[in-house]
Chains A and B, each alone.
Chain A
Amino acid sequence: MTSPAGITRRAAILAGFGGAGALIWNADKLTLSPSFSHVFRAVEDWTCTSQRMLLRPGQLAKEYSREDISPVFKPNGTFNPGGEEYDTHVAQGFANWRLKIDGLVQRPMSLSIAELRLLPSRTQITRHDCVEGWTAIGMWTGVQLGLLLKAAGLTSDARYAVFHCADNLDGEPAKGGEQSPGQYYESIDLVDAFHPQTLVAYDLNGKPLGVPNGAPLRLRVERQLGYKQAKYLRRIEIANSFRTIAGGYGGYWEDRGYEWYAGI
């Protein structure tokens, strides 16, 4: 091997292995480094872009048959939001619970559970995939979110639906030093908001939703993971951006390092 080429190649090999070694050795530090988080964000954006390229906007998540329904639909996160207000609603059978739709809409709305039940409904047997790895299959009945949003009339600058929930998950610290309040919230963009399987669900397996699974209302976004399926829905805020809401990443778990796009 001639020496100039040899030196260059040797340098390249050493640099490659040095870089790989540094990456392995510093994996813990890099995990926590704010500057390296940009790399992870770029990967997330790329995953979202590539899945959105492959997915037609209305393409449905697989629907299952009744035989496939899980015997137990595992609850996770909050099992009971508790507190005087929520307990009162439970005692009243959620007769006075209201779902507000406001923000960038022409006609803000406030709907009771009874009013939602009078609207056209959709029933679907779908898979709930928790980010942790487990899966539960359940039959959901509810109102298509798109129907509600059409009734409310979005303004031209509307880009996201932000879901505010009644449960507070204190105790899980937010990442990056910035403390986000423990109130659960989530957000999706309009592609998923108007997807035919995106529901404001009130029934699970033919019965009114139980407290551990999100009574009285739970969001279903079937092409994304479990943490997007916000429980105990109180308010849907239509927004142009979620940067100013809570921790600024578009959801309770997103503020704690999880991906906003939860399609994988």
Chain B
Amino acid sequence: MTDEALESAKRGQRRNGDSFYRHRLPVRITHWINALCILFLLGSGLNIFNAHPRLYWGQYGADADRSLFSIEAVDRDGGTVGVTQIGPWHLNTTGFLGWSKHDGGHVARGWPDWLTIPSFQDLADARHWHFLFAWLLAFNGLAYLGWSLFSRHLQRDIVPTLADIHSIPRSLIDHVKLKHPTGQAAKRYNPLQRLAYLGVIVVISLMVATGLTMSPGFDAVCPWLLDLFGGRQSARSIHFISAFLIVLFVTVHLIEVVLAGPINEVRSMLTGRYVVPPEHRR
């Protein structure tokens, strides 16, 4: 593609009826690879978490130290219950967290089998999946960021403009009213969309950085990472909180896809072509 063609594709001038070319091939490919990576990383990550279902803050943290968050099976009144601790709060999460069904019986495990990869509890295997997809995520992410910077996709489409920042309140109201942009306005990412996409790029980068901070080998290469995150156990907690933010992003992202027209949205991420919703009469 020449720069001119890129340019015209970018601005949606390659019209075909009322549809235009929204997502270029590198965006589409890296999007789906990323989605697969996130799925496997979340599933295997929860399995890894189950090996020691407690989080701490600081340089160290083990059973004798105070936990920020924990999921435990506790014997109570002759039965076993799942207890999830978040700071000072203790919640009974029997059947979901701490004590859940597996292979016909109940087992003590942090996250239940239907959420983890593999479904059975095995730290060694979960780590294998995690590192396989961590490498794929890293290469895919570098390809995406490299291309996005080079093609100025990041600067033009993702980073919010001043006007975007000013119209955040209005965009918020539109989202709450489930009003989606139409006509010309539907051809660009709206302010909240930009913030969400930029945010998830930052969170995934944080995920990679905190993941590396947990590696004793990588810490010898970059000891400053430990100072940046306030210790290995803080990095592990931030890794977990970031995973939660990614789940939040994916949830909102999927809801928006459904609300904005799932066929049109999914097709645009497969073929690039996006049908512009016609302008509303005011």
Contact = CB atoms under 8 A, between A and B. Distances in A.
B124 A257 contact: yes
A131 interface: yes
Contact of B217 (A16, A55, A70, A133): A55
A54 interface: yes
A134 B62 contact: yes
B124 A256 contact: yes
A51 B52 contact: no
Question: Looking at chain B's contact residues, is the secondary structure mostly helix, strand, loop, or mixed?
Answer: helix
Interface residues of A, number: 54
Contact of B135 (A13, A28, A46, A59): A46
A154 interface: no
Given A9-B271, A134-B54, A263-B215, A127 B125 contact: no
Contact of A134 (B63, B119, B219, B231): B63
Contact of B128 (A43, A55, A70): A43
A27 B59 CA distance: 34
Interface of B: 32, 36, 39-40, 43, 48-49, 51-52, 54, 56, 59-65, 117-120, 122-125, 127-129, 131-132, 135, 214-221, 223, 226, 231-233, 236, 270-271
Contacts, number: 147
Given A40-B128, A61-B219, A264-B217, A127 B59 contact: yes
B102 to A, nearest CB: 12
A13 B39 CA distance: 19
A71 B66 CA distance: 11
Nearest to B225: A62
A135 interface: yes
B135 A43 contact: yes
Nearest to A20: B36
Interface string A87-113: 000000000000000000000000000
Interface of A: 1, 9, 13, 16, 20, 23-24, 27-28, 31-32, 37, 39-40, 43-44, 46-47, 51, 54-55, 59-62, 64, 68, 70-72, 74, 127, 129-137, 175, 222-225, 253, 256-259, 262-264
Contacts of A23: 36
A23 B32 CA distance: 14
A200 B236 CA distance: 29
A222 B216 contact: yes
A259 B127 contact: yes
Nearest to A17: B32
A163 to B, nearest CB: 18
A222 B219 CA distance: 10
Given A263-B216, A263-B218, A28 B120 contact: yes
Given A28-B118, A43-B132, A132 B215 contact: no
